[in-house]
Chain A
Amino acid sequence: MGTAASAGQQEKISLLKVLGPVHVWALGVGIVLVGEYMGWNFSVAKGGAYGSLIACWVIGLLYTCVAMIDSEVTSTVAAAGGQYTQAKHIIGPLMAFNVGLYLVMAYTMLEAADALVVGDLLKAVAQQYGAELDPRPFVVLTIAFLAWMNYRGVFMTLTVNFVITAFAFIAILVLFFHATGLTDGHSVLLHRELLVDLPYGWIGVLASLQFGMWYYLGIEGTCQAAEEVRSAGRSIPMGTMGGMMTLLIAASLTWYICTGIIPWEYLGQATTPLYDAARLMGSVELEVMLFIGTMFAAIASANGCINDASRAWFSMSRDRYMPHWFGAVHPRYRTPYRSILFLIPIAVSFAFTGLLDQVITFSILSGLLGYTFMSFNIVRFRRLWPLGSIERGYVHPYHPIPCIVLGVLCAATYFATYLGYGTSLLSIMAFYILVSIWFVVRRYPFVKRGEQFTMPWPRPKGY
């Protein structure tokens, strides 16, 4: 229990280091893969099929930069909190508070949206049998069950996530093999007939970048596991980069299948495009498989979000950026149990607003703010701890090109978001400015400044 207590020393407790690269992959891909099952297709409505493909690859480049930068920094910061902890060490307290809040808001809202999806899918099943089903109890049950699993241990939580995420990914592969005729020699894809030029020109392509984020949103969550992996220097880069490769494949295949079966005017408005594609192929087995895949993808995403949001909240509380009480570790299960419990009513509240669009937009914007932070965080990290001054499990290549590319693509995505959700963008900026003022005036006096830096890092260059 806890770390060994020798005579004369206070007994201490810590999170359990039991995870490997597979769990990191399951955490990252698990959060994201639901974006392949739904959400990405709104980029088709903005920019047409080709516009969506451009968004898929351009935003793929953005997230590849995120994955590379995150892998390098996190391979040195073996602590829960991910980007929050990075910001605390590299930039400063106010940035850390904001980044921590971006993470908690982004993951809790995504969790709520995922639970809403599970409820809506069950409601759709009931409607097929001519019955009316209230989705709310199933939304609450999804959140409660996943929180319970997270409460009882990270190993089982992410092992389950690996199984259901792998199923959801394999379902996409199976659909691809059937659609292209690799199984029976008969392709059902009609790209030549269905693909058209850019319907709204290049401004449509730019606007589609916002929804292109759905293909990969959340892969950066892998670094929340840094304190619970057996080897952060090995597992985080392997899990994150492996996850990114999986997502690039899944995103490209999803686009290829759906745009070859569903006309872009319909695809841009579909709720569950992959499931719809399976239904149009007329195979009951495929339809059932893709329905289960959709359900599993939403559950895996909510599960990973609970894991990540609770670790971010736990880390902030441990440093007293939030009430210290939430920084407790369960003595048996070795999980941040109070943070997990606290976030249940928050997620249920977001889900019960029923404002799926707004909840998702807030989640995406919080994520985007986090990526913007990463672009200048890595520059400062390399300056304060140059190569060779600190042990890195992974060194990302071609620095500073990835951080410049990341900054430019974030700026383009802000503009794209402004085109469609300008009010939301300004509202979220105002929200974070207000809470920053609260933090500086009311909360920071409670922070014990010396106690928040316990990582065995060398002194930064110039200090």
Chain B
Amino acid sequence: MDMWSALEYGAWGLSVVLIGWMLVDARFVSTTYGEDFLLSSREGDE
């Protein structure tokens, strides 16, 4: 496997890690906090 192929696989891998991290974190937040709290933002709030 040459350097360019390794870079391609590396890019795919890093993308999966980053998107996976966000999905896991979003799932964790949803199970830890109530929906009413997460959706409580209102425009104009200080």
- By a beta-carbon cutoff of 8 Å, the part of chain A in contact with chain B is 2-3, 10-15, 17, 78-81, 85, 126, 131-134, 137-138, 140-141, 144-145, 147-148, 151, 227, 315, 318, 324-325, 327-332, 337-338, 340-341, 344, 454-456
Which 8 A-B residue pairings sit nearest by Cβ, starting from the closest?
A: A137-B11, A79-B43, A328-B38, A455-B44, A12-B40, A144-B15, A141-B11, A144-B18
Q: Which listed residue (B4, B26, B44, B46) contacts A338, Cβ 8 A?
A: B26
Q: Which listed residue (B22, B37, B43) contacts A331, Cβ 8 A?
A: B37
| Residue pair A330, B43 in contact (C-beta under 8 Å) | no
| Residue pair B19, A144 in contact (C-beta under 8 Å) | yes
In the complex, given contacts A2-B37, A318-B39, what are 15 additional A-B residue pairs having Cβ atoms less than 8 angstroms apart? Answer: A13-B37, A15-B41, A85-B43, A126-B4, A141-B18, A144-B19, A145-B18, A147-B22, A318-B41, A327-B39, A328-B38, A331-B37, A331-B38, A338-B26, A341-B26
Residues from chain B with a CB closer than 8 A to the CB of A17 are 46
Q: Which listed residue (B7, B8, B21, B44) contacts A79, Cβ 8 A?
A: B44
Given contacts A137-B8, A137-B12, A141-B14, contact A331 B41 (CB under 8 A): no
| Residue pair A12, B12 in contact (C-beta under 8 Å) | no
| Residue pair B21, A131 in contact (C-beta under 8 Å) | no
- By a beta-carbon cutoff of 8 Å, the part of chain B in contact with chain A is 2, 4, 7-9, 11-12, 14-15, 18-19, 21-23, 25-26, 29, 33, 35-46
Residues from chain A with a CB closer than 8 A to the CB of B15 are 137, 140-141, 144-145
CB B10 to nearest CB in A, in angstroms, measures 8
Task: Give the distance in Å from the alpha carbon of A65 to the alpha carbon of B18 in the complex.
Answer: 40
Residues from chain A with a CB closer than 8 A to the CB of B36 are 10
CB B23 to nearest CB in A, in angstroms, measures 7
| Residue pair B43, A318 in contact (C-beta under 8 Å) | yes
